[in-house]
Each structure stands twice: as C-alpha cells, then as structure tokens.
Amino acid sequence: MRISIPALFFCIVLLNKTNDLFAQQGITVAGNITAAGKAVEAASLSLLKTKDSSVVKLEISDKQGNFEFNNIKAGNYFLQADVVGYKKFFLPAFEVKDKNIRLDVSSLSAGVYFIKVVNSNKILNRQFVKL
C-alpha cells in the first residue's frame, strides 16, 4: 500500500485541527441559587468580564435553581443575578483558569446569603437584600 505525501500531509493537518477544536471547548461555570431553603427558579444570570463589564453569556436558573455557563475562556469574571422580589445582586470577581467552577448561593437568614465558590479556593460572603 502506497500513501502519497500530499495525502499524508492532509491527514496530519486534519488531525491537528481536530485536536485544536477539542482543546478550545472551555470551562464550565455552574451553580445553584436557593432562598429560604428553596430553589430560586427563573433567576436571570449574566456572566460579565471584570475588565469592561461586557456580557459574556446569559442564563436562566431552572426549577431546581441550577444554572450553567459552558465553554468559558480563562479570564476574570463576575456574576450578576436578577430575581423578581430581590435587588440586583453582583457576585464578587472570580478567576477562571483551567478548572470548572461552581458558585452556590444560599440564604442564611432574611436578606443574608452565603456564596460558596468551589474549585478556586475562595469562599465569599455577600449581602443579597430582599425588597
């Protein structure tokens, strides 16, 4: 069996490009929002760049309060949550490197929420004031 040089070159280039596609799939930033022990459905979530506050992706939490931003590139971001009956909430900036990140937001008492950031070695506390 004889393989021509151009055909071999084409196969090498094709394999290299396929590898690049898989390498660029990005990181997942996911989490859960709960209030008074119950999931917060239909929260509007925006993933924003810290550099200029430009919107990277938008998501809505599901019935269990889960949300997920897929194919996120490495960089610095913050999360904005908008929920009917609550003031707009901004999660402090966090860095996306090479691992998936989980952001869990749950209420501790009326108007006070605990934010847990997993896989980035940070645990943050912020106020989430009820109107």
Domain ranges of the chain: 26-127
The pLDDT of residue 128 is above 60 = no
Q: What is the pLDDT of residues 22-70, one digit of tens each?
A: 445 689 999 999 887 889 999 999 999 999 999 999 999 999 999 999 9
The whole-number pLDDT of residue 76 equals: 95
Structural contact between residues 105 and 31, judged by C-beta atoms closer than 8 angstroms:
yes
Residue 24 exposure: Cα atoms within 13 Å on the Cβ side: 6
Q: Which contiguous run of DSSP H or E holds residue 22? A: helix 5-23
The CATH class of the 26-127 domain is mainly beta
